[in-house]
Amino acid sequence: MKPTILVTGFTAFQEFDRNPSGDIAETVNGKQMNGFRVKGIRLPVSWHSAWPLIRKNAETLKPAAWLGFGLAPDPFIRLETTARNEARYFYDEFGKLPPPNGAGEIIAGHTPAIPSALPLDWLREKLLIRNFATLGTYPLEVRYSDDAGGFICNHVFYLAMSELQEKIPVRGFIHVPPYTRDTAAGGPGDKDLIDVGVFMVECLTEWLAGRRV
């Protein structure tokens, strides 16, 4: 049986009635890439339900990697370098607040920050090469970010980094921009965002395949 990578994104939330992160996860679900089978799932924007779904799939699939996608309002791709033990008191889409673990911590008394275990430099280089080649798509800027926010994205990122180390050595998180409401203004189209997300998943499988040689 081919090894699996787990890719997650999210449902719509707040003013974003469409979430490209979830669309990317659903687009890659079931695909075969570089000898890997991809399992993509869309997570609820929920303090209490998103992480259990990731943990359940990690235990069932025993994937070689977890790549989490989320939506950030910035007009560029954010390669998240650091998961932080911080949960800000925002209501989720179900009107719930985060569990009261310490003084705004995800895991009370745990290490404040954990670095991503994704090959971020590799992914950035691949994205920059893709931008130069254009491939008929809108060239999205790529930046490193050391703050994944204090909402659900950072919540699942931190828990994955702290609790799945033995089960999934390669894991991390990337934020993508929202769909452009007015493509005439020069932003990326819907297909551009989906295509770049699929490209990043494919690049990760390529890197994983290289490690197995």
Q: pLDDT tens digits, residue range 162-206?
A: 999 989 999 999 999 999 865 555 567 788 899 999 999 999 999
Q: How far apart are CA 38 and CA 8, in angstroms?
A: 10
pLDDT digits (tens, 9 = 90+) for 64-104: 999 999 999 999 999 999 999 999 989 999 999 998 776 68
Q: Give the pLDDT confidence score for residue 212 in this predicted structure.
A: 54
pLDDT digits (tens, 9 = 90+) for 14-43: 889 999 999 999 999 999 999 999 999 999
* Residues of the chain above pLDDT 90, percent: 77
Mind listing the domains of the chain with CATH numbers?
4-212 (3.40.630.20)
Q: Parallel, antiparallel, or unpaired for β 32-33 and 36-43?
A: antiparallel
Q: Give the pLDDT confidence score for residue 197 in this predicted structure.
A: 96
Q: How far apart are CA 47 and CA 147, in angstroms?
A: 18
